[in-house]
Amino acid sequence: MEGIVRVRDIAEYFRLEQITGDDTSLDRIITVPEINRLGLEFIGYFVSTVFARVVLLGNKEIGYIADKMSDDQVRELFNIIMSEETPCIIIARGHECPPILKEMGDQKNFPILSTKQETTRVITDVVSFLDEHLAKTISLHGTFMNIYGKGILLTGKSGSGKSEIALELIRKGHQLIADDRVDVKRVHNSIIGEAPFLLKGMLEIRGIGIIDAMQMFGVNSILRSHTLDYVIDLEKWDQDTEYVRAGIEDKEYKTILDVDIPMITLPMKEGRSIAVIIESAVTNFALIEEGYDSAKAFDERIRNHILAQKKEG
């Protein structure tokens, strides 16, 4: 599903001052995570204009309106800009709203907002906010944990013990983000995961029922959201399956919202301390990110040993 953002949301989040329009004008919906800075529109060229964007007026735009445009020209331009599709206008750097714009905004019940922030800062902040909140969201089955600062999604068949492993990891000081269902969205080239509202902080332990991790282990045992860094797929040990041994085999990935996330398959059987193995896997992932691959180092050690033996021979 797609997120919904209204002008009210950015006005409240960024503490923007409302100059024109009543409270209902803030209910306009924003559908595009981009900013429009007027350029060719000033000379009447609207061919590539995306009216669904938030319009931002900075030093150049306010200066051009004041120095180069008559009241009639301003009216003609902003009669087009203040369309039903345009969400709002934001005036940056604390500039006064041109009187003709204030008059038009009140007449049309169109929201013109103001901030003292610099123009570039407004662009960065508003676009980032909209990019995150308008991102497409999907739900995944699994348990999402913060382990050593990495977002780890534990997947596997229902009843494979993901929640019990999560409980053990929480007791070892790691953080729960979501159990059973994880809502994920793509922001830029990263996948962000969080728990649905009803499931936040909750774990389902078979034989016990639903437990509240925060109440049992403290507020630091849970986390609202995190970037998804790795996927660990848990499956029952099958003696006929060839599992990764040395780690030099081709890497696995799970594609989520067109982003490839590194993945490993972890076989489970009695006697294996899965929580400890998961911690080790995450540490190994982190080492690889930092440029050290244990499997490659081991392979290189073997190659050097063979070469040394040949020389001695």
Sign of CA dihedral 125, 130, 136, 142: positive
Q: Are 166 and 269 in contact (CB under 8 A)?
A: no
Residue 57 DSSP class? E
Residue 162 annotated to the active site = yes
Residue 28 annotated to the active site = no
Q: Residue 204, class by beta-carbon neighbours within 10 Å (0-12 exposed, 13-18 middle, 19+ buried)?
A: middle
Residue 251 annotated to the active site = no
Of 8, 53, 180, 186, catalytic: 180
**Residue located via tokens 């964007």:** 53
Q: Are 191 and 228 in contact (CB under 8 A)?
A: yes
Burial 167-176 (b: 16+ CB within 10 A, else e): bebbeeebbb
Of 68, 206, 245, 310, catalytic: 245
Q: Are 123 and 35 in contact (CB under 8 A)?
A: yes
Residue 174 annotated to the active site = no
User: What is the rounded radius of gyration, in angstroms, for the C-alpha atoms of the chain?
Assistant: 27
Of 8, 162, 185, 226, catalytic: 162
Helix (H, G, I), strand (E, B) or coil at 45: coil
Of 141, 157, 296, 305, catalytic: 141
- Which structure tokens are listed for 184? 């994920």
CA distance linking residue 89 with residue 95, whole number of Å: 13
Q: Are 229 and 260 in contact (CB under 8 A)?
A: no
**Residue located via tokens 């728990």:** 195
- Would you please indicate which residues are annotated as catalytic (active-site) residues? 141, 162, 180, 245
